[in-house]
């Protein structure tokens, strides 16, 4: 969730409320889950923490409990390779959607299927 100071500014409160509304709408989608990490501070910058680990653990847990038969991963981060391999070992199909500017070849090699996110794809989705 976005940072809020104590007390939050009007802009921080507005940004937080918009994100909260967005997340609530996502949680109502069928077969869709949200995992939120933590907001950490590195110097003057704020960064997401734990998100990759939360997602990797969820992939492995759902795969080995036979709760899913397909995992669709949107990333380019090779840190997910062990989770992908564990899911595949459990018999799960792993599909990867990625941008060409941020993909690691080791991840491409690990997944079952992969698809680039192109401008044409983005345009077709925003027109729906």
In tens, the pLDDT along 38-88 reads 888 888 888 888 889 999 999 999 999 999 999 999 999 999 999 999 999
User: Phi and psi dihedrals of 95, rounded to 5?
Assistant: -105, 140
The ranges assigned to domains in the chain are: 51-126
Which fold would CATH assign to domain 51-126?
A: Rossmann fold (3.40.50)
- Summarize the confidence of residues 96-111 as an average pLDDT: 93
What whole-number distance in Å separates Cα of residue 79 and Cα of residue 108? 12
What is the pLDDT at residue 121?
87
CA atoms within 13 A on the CB side of 47: 8
Q: Going edge to edge, which strands form the sheet with 93-98?
A: 70-74, 93-98, 113-116
| Burial label, 29 (beta-carbon count in 10 A; 0-12, 13-18, 19+) | exposed
What is the pLDDT at residue 37?
81
* Global pTM value: 0.74
- Summarize the confidence of residues 6-25 as an average pLDDT: 93
């Amino acid at each position: 969730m976005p940072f809020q100071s104590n007390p939050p500014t009007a802009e921080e409160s507005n940004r937080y409320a918009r994100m909260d509304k967005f997340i609530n709408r996502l949680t109502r989608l069928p077969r869709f889950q949200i995992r939120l990490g933590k907001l950490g501070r590195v110097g003057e910058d704020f960064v997401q923490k734990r998100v990759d680990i939360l997602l990797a653990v969820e992939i492995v847990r759902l795969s080995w409990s036979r709760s899913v038969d397909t995992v669709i991963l949107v990333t380019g981060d090779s840190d997910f390779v062990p989770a992908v391999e564990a899911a595949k070992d459990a018999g799960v199909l792993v599909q990867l959607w990625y941008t060409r500017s941020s993909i690691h070849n080791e991840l491409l090699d690990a997944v079952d299927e992969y698809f680039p996110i192109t401008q044409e794809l983005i345009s077709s989705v925003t027109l729906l």
